[in-house]
Structure formats: structure tokens, C-alpha cells
């Protein structure tokens, strides 16, 4: 799922995202609640109509901001008191409020409010976060929904295997429409990410969607799919495009670097995206270094095309019975580096 935090996938029009064959994107409850506000979006006919997107939308509950905006919030058993990062206004987001906002936005999939602990964190903190997550999930499950809206529970537990397993098992008792694995890829290494996924997914039912939140590294996605994960979202395709980085089958390429200055070939050979069909690396590099908006758009388009193609390749490998070979091919491709870690 491409990330559309503010009601838009950065640098892309809705039709461009649809042309890339994406059928669901992500929005963020916290950010849309702050700006432009749920009342305005509701007046404009709901989030789909407001942003001109007629396919599915999943809205995150704002639980990630509990961690990422730690200096601007206070967590209690009732919910989270935030100080707006925009103008300092104080606001409260609890389980009831998070579900009401998502109901009024009219998203297709709403996420329960959870507490995402940072990495590293003490076991005592992780235990407390799990208890709050479960308490809030139970309250979220009882709230009214928009017509046809699904609700997903979120597994927490930091790096503690027993906490993740017990959190997942308790969430299943609440019979959500799907389940997400949260609190991974928040600063820990790839081995701990994989372990967190395995510890969570083993307890989740096979007949419900399993969603790994915030992970967009090819090697990690392949490993997660091998463990039974179905859905992903990540800011990396568009964020790294804004920093001049292209995703390719062979790994990442810094298009802004001097080595691309005179390269007449495309961003990636044998790529079918519009940017690669029409333009050279040299031209895209020129646009990026001249701060031309088209450069960011072309690289974002390419990266989103590559991610969609990658998911399609995974599906094809599963159907063909060759997923083990596909997984081995991506084992060492695109390993995350510290400067690439998503933080928003």
C-alpha cells in the first residue's frame, strides 16, 4: 500500500497511482484530524471523494505517532494527550475518538488505537504498552463503524517473544477482520524485525489478512511473506525518491550521484514504467540536481512501479511453486541502511 499520510501519495495523482495497478492506499488518522480536520473532509463527502480516490483506503489510527511524537504527547490508560506539531494546540486521542474519526472519514479498513513502544525499551514498558493496546483494542471493537468498514487489531510487544505471542492470541479472541503486526522496523536490526514478525504471526488465523506495518525493504518483505504476511505499507518508495534514490532489481541506485551524469540509459534497464520508457538517468539526475519537481515525480513513479512489480513477481513465484528461489534471490538485495529508516 502506497502511503498517503495527508490524503495524497506524495508527488503522484490518484490516476497515476491507479494506472500503476494499486488498489488500496494508506491514510493517517492523526494527521488528517489535525489538518484539514474531519469536519471538512466529512462535508466534502468523505475521504475517498475529498482526495479523488475511488478504490480502497486503510487509515492508520495514529498509534505510530504515540512513539514518533514522544516529546509532544502524554500517554494514559484512557488515551493520548497530544500537543499539535503544527501549532501547539492540545488534543486528545483515545480509542473511541480514533474509531469515530475513522468512521467519519469513511475508510475501508480502520486500525485500532495501539501504543507502539520505541526500540529499545525495557520489558516493563513493553508489558504496559501491550496491556494498553489490548484494553484499547477491546474498546475499539465495540465502536460504531462506517458501512462495510473493516477493523484490524495490532500486535505489539517490542522484541519480547512471549509478549508478542500473548498479545496476538488475546487479539484473536476479539475476532477482528484482520490483524496487523506493529512495533517492528522502529530502529532494530533486520534479524529482530524478522523475529518480531515470526513471534506475532504464528498466533494469527490463516483466514484473516495479516498486515506488516511500516516495512518496505524487499528482502524483509520476502521473508515476511514466507512467514504468512499478506499486506505491507511503507513511505520508502516516495521518500527515497525525494532524496534521489531509485529502487531496482539489483538494489538501490543514487541517481543524483556524479556517476549518472552522462548515463543515457534509463533509471533501470528493462523497466516498463513511464520514466524509464521516456527518459535517461542523465536527464532525471539533471532534474533532481536542479530541484525540478518533475525529477521527484519521475523517480516516485518509477519506485512505485518497481514495488508493484515486485509484489506481482512474488505472487507469480508462489503460484509457480518457485517462491523459495525467489526468496533466495532477494536475500541480500536492498538491505536497509540507517539513513533510510522511516521516521514519520
**Active site residues per annotation:** 60, 233
Sequence-separated contacts (24+) of 276-281 with Cβ below 8 Å: 276/302, 281/255
DSSP state of 27: E
Cell numbers 550521484: residue: 257
CA distances from 242 to 111, 239, 268 (A): 28, 5, 17
CA dihedral 285, 290, 292, 296 (to 10 degrees): 40
The CA distance from 197 to 190, in Å, is 11
Residue 299 region by backbone torsions, left for phi larger than 0, else alpha for psi between -120 and 50, else beta: alpha
3-state SS, residue 83: strand
Strand residues in 79-163 grouped as ranges (E): 80-83, 90-93, 109-111, 150-155
Amino acid at each position: 500500500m502506497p502511503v498517503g499520510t495527508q490524503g495524497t501519495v506524495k508527488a503522484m495523482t490518484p490516476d497515476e497511482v491507479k494506472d500503476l495497478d494499486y488498489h488500496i492506499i494508506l491514510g493517517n488518522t492523526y494527521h488528517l484530524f489535525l489538518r484539514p480536520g474531519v469536519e471538512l473532509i466529512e462535508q466534502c463527502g468523505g475521504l475517498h471523494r475529498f482526495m479523488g480516490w475511488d478504490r480502497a483506503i486503510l487509515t492508520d489510527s495514529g498509534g505510530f505517532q504515540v512513539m514518533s511524537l514522544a516529546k509532544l504527547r502524554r500517554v494514559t490508560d484512557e488515551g493520548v494527550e497530544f500537543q499539535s506539531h503544527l501549532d501547539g494546540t492540545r488534543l486528545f486521542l483515545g480509542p473511541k475518538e480514533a474509531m469515530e474519526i475513522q468512521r467519519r472519514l469513511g475508510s475501508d479498513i480502520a486500525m485500532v488505537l495501539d501504543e507502539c513502544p520505541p526500540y529499545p525499551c525495557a520489558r516493563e514498558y513493553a508489558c504496559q504498552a501491550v496491556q494498553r493496546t489490548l484494553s484499547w483494542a477491546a474498546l475499539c471493537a465495540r465502536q460504531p463503524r462506517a458501512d462495510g468498514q473493516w477493523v484490524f487489531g495490532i500486535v505489539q510487544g517490542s522484541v519480547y517473544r512471549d509478549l508478542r505471542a500473548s498479545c496476538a492470541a488475546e487479539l484473536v479472541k476479539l475476532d477482528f477482520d484482520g490483524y496487523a503486526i506493529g512495533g517492528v522496523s522502529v530502529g532494530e536490526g533486520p534479524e529482530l524485525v524478522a523475529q518480531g514478525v515470526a513471534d506475532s504471526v504464528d498466533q494469527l488465523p490463516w483466514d484473516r489478512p495479516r498486515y506488516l506495518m511500516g516495512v518496505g525493504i524487499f528482502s524483509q518483505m520476502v521473508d515476511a511473506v514466507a512467514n504468512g504476511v499478506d499486506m505491507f505499507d511503507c513511505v520508502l518508495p516516495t521518500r527515497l525518491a525525494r532524496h534521489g534514490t531509485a529502487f531496482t532489481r539489483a538494489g538501490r541506485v543514487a541517481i543524483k550521484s556524479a556517476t549518472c551524469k552522462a548515463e543515457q540509459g534509463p533509471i533501470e534497464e528493462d523497466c516498463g514504467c513511464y520514466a524509464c520508457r521516456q527518459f535517461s538517468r542523465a536527464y532525471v539526475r539533471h532534474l533532481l540536481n536542479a530541484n525540478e519537481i518533475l525529477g521527484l515525480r519521475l523517480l516516485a513513479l518509477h519506485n512505485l512501479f518497481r514495488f508493484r512489480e515486485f509484489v506481482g513477481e512474488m505472487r507469480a513465484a508462489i503460484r509457480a511453486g518457485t517462491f523459495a528461489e525467489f526468496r533466495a534471490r532477494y536475500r541480500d538485495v536492498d538491505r536497509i541502511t540507517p539513513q533510510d529508516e522511516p521516521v514519520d
